[in-house]
Chain A
Amino acid sequence: MDWVSIFNSGLQQLISPVTAAYAIAALGLAVHFGYTGLLNFGQAGFMLLGAYGYAIPAIMWNAPVVVSVLCGVGLSVVFALLLGIPTLRLRADYLAIVTIAAAEILRLIVTSTSMQDITGSANGLPSFQGPLLAMNPFPDGRYGFGPFVFDNREWFYLTIGWTVVALLALVNWLLMRSPWGRVLKGIREDEDAVRSLGKNVYAYKMQSLILGGVYGTLAGMLFVLPYAVVPSRFVTSLTFFTWAILLLGGAATIFGPILGSIIFWVVLAFFSTFMANASESGLLPFMSTVQAAQTSFILVGVVIMLLVIFRPQGILGNKKEMSFVK
């Protein structure tokens, strides 16, 4: 057993850009579910729009970073409107079914071979990071300390990622203690009561859907930065993992999504390297190395179930805040 590599792979997840991306996606879901009570199961769709919306202008016209980001954000606003108009007046689970269906529609479209010239079909879009990397302030080479040794690109990505995490957590904190945020919480608790106060519940829900969706879009951009834009990364499991993170940390909290993402990825990386190592050194004679690595996904499913049943408020949450989940 190589304990050093097992611990290192877990610790690296502590600050990896992917952890940051999931934290941002979960912050968006916190706006949707934790504060407004909307069941968005299409966060993968918002993330996909962010990734493609960012990469396509960057590849096709070498567009500046700002243009790419705005393109992704614009697409996700349109997407949120299209999702919200038919469903936000209906009962909560309709939004769940429509969002999950819409996210799959987007994935099927970008994977289609008829979109080859624009989205690169199943192979996706590699090397779109050019305009961003031109601004990389980190000097060339690999450096760091302890398990945190990365090259200059990765340092750049994770700096951006965690800066965005911090900014959005601040935005969430400011918004949710504002009058606007209190209306959202009111909608979460009792929609009819808020409507009777003269608030346009539909408009507030729509604003919440758009805001959380934009978070998802930004998460999608950061999610693909260290790799290529590949459509198979935006399957429904991506949404489910984000939900697991949200529920783990606490849905109606500011730091819950961030803490949830860190714990989720550190534990998952630790567990899967541990299982792979244990299997290689013959401790698990009844399973292959591939099988040993897959057990971590079974664990994710079981953790989601146990959390929702026994601690629906998550690690940081307050049980009273989750009384709306009926």
Chain B
Amino acid sequence: MTHAHIAARQAPVRRLLLALSAAVIAVFALSALPATAAHAAEEPCDGAYKLSGNVKFNNEPLEGVKIHAEGNGQKCDATTDAAGQWVIMVAEKGEYKVTLNQDSLPEGVIVADGQDTVSAEFGLTKTKAVNFFLGEGKRVTQDLGSQVLQRVWNGLSFGLLLALAAIGVSLIFGTTGLSNFAHAEMITFGALMSLTFGKILGLNLGVAILLALVLSAAFGWGLDAGLWKPLRKRGVGVVQLMIVSIGLSLALRYTFQFFYGGETLQLPGATDPNAVTIGPILTSWVAIVSMAVSVVMLLATAFFLLRTRIGKATRAVSDNPALASASGIDVDRVIRIVWVISGLLAGLAGILWAYFRPGASWDMGFQILLMVFAAVTLGGLGTAFGALVGSLIVGLFTELSTLVLPSDMKYVGALLILIVMLLVRPQGILGRKERIG
């Protein structure tokens, strides 16, 4: 390598360091701000407006639970009485943040979903009731080792379901060059169909899931037959196809919202308290079954790709469509099969995701689409096994990052490794260099 080369290679590194240090300084400056700068002088806790609530667990009032309300320059505390009641008087109408101190709850009781802070806004009246939803459960009082094990277990569970969706994205990308944003809706479709059959129509859960999977595969078939194949025949470029998939994603997502509404609905058995403990790991039968299903499906996909004729043809098309076509492979048929398999796997991923979150909603697929893309890019775009490796890494990283990051930022870590990965090994873990240029 000549001098000029080295200089050219070093310049971006230096620029990167500059940019990074600037970002660090900016973050530092922000965090150094006094936390109370936005608040006015504090006022006493009385006034004409009443925040109140009733803390109960299994219809038993809880005494001595500490409540803290903050907002409009006021900070007030209260403790529940023997009837579980608490009252805080405030001077101004407006919005308040009400926090329930979890340490003051009895052993074995927690606030559901970590929602220990809720915001309360006065409506037309002078009173506002604030309620917390309590549930049975353990707060994180485990030692670090078992915490790590627990997160690894959750991470594997999440990673395996991501892998089901990611392999589809990767196969479609490999065979057609399309970065399919509408994959999110294929995921949602599976969950919503099992919701329709299992809950709304009240069929047996097994039958409902089977029907949902058949329909998901048919959905994949229909997308290729109705949209993507005609576009391939027109010779529409891959960037255009990608934008078409974004439009399709929007249209499908709001169509789902149109029919199913904006709320989250539970699949049958998703919230059953069927806790199982394996050593220090707290889990449920649903989680164990879904991990087993993922592993079986992934093995079946691997067998298909490595051992069957059509699977080998798929990999050939992925490598070089022109050459595959010249050697007598029916490229369109292979692509059709890839869409059917992707639809099936995405639908299954959606059902498992609905149990993992838990809940099925119109935008649930879109919530993990970026995780799926991160997994695919991390493993190497267009490589099926790379997608599996990438998914497991993203799943583990997402869950393990909650050891250091606040839990509402757990996806940030997974998306950050995507960017770091592109810096050091842009072709991904199992990818080949010629795909990236």
Q: Which residues of A does B touch, CB under 8 Å?
A: 39, 56, 59-60, 74-75, 78, 81-82, 85-87, 89-94, 96-98, 100-102, 104-105, 108-109, 111-114, 117-118, 123, 202, 236-237, 240, 243-244, 247, 287, 291, 294-295, 297-298, 300-305, 308-309, 312, 325-326
Contacts and interface: CB of A to CB of B under 8 A. Distances in A.
A92 B248 contact: no
A101 B244 contact: no
B254 A85 contact: no
Contacts of A39: 239, 242
Contacts of B423: 85-86
Contacts of B246: 240, 243, 304
B6 interface: no
User: Which one of B22, B253, B254 has the highest number of Cβ atoms from chain A below 10 Å of its Cβ?
Assistant: B254
A105 B416 contact: yes
Contact of B373 (A97, A291, A301): A97
Contact of A101 (B35, B38, B247, B415): B415
B28 interface: no
A59 B36 CA distance: 12
Given A85-B19, A98-B418, A101-B415, A301 B252 contact: yes
B422 A102 contact: no
A309 to B, nearest CB: 6
Nearest to B243: A308
Contacts of A308: 236, 240, 243-244, 247
Nearest to B71: A123
A195 B370 CA distance: 33
B247 A305 contact: yes
Given A86-B422, A309-B234, 6 more contacts: A85-B16, A86-B426, A96-B242, A97-B179, A105-B415, A298-B255
Contacts of B33: 60, 117-118
Given A60-B38, A94-B422, A105-B412, A301 B19 contact: no
Contact of B409 (A108, A123, A295, A325): A108
Interface string B232-261: 001011111011101111111111011000
A112 B406 contact: yes
B244 A305 contact: yes
Interface string B84-122: 000000000001000000000000000000000101000
A109 B412 CA distance: 8
A78 B237 CA distance: 32
B379 to A, nearest CB: 13
A59 B38 contact: yes
Interface in B35-49: 35-38
B30 A295 contact: no
A298 B253 CA distance: 8
A295 B250 contact: no
Contacts of A85: 12, 15-16, 19, 423
Nearest to A97: B373
Contacts of A287: 258
Contacts of A92: 239
Across the A-B interface, the 9 shortest Cβ-Cβ residue pairs: A301-B251, A304-B247, A301-B250, A305-B247, A326-B237, A297-B254, A81-B19, A117-B35, A86-B423
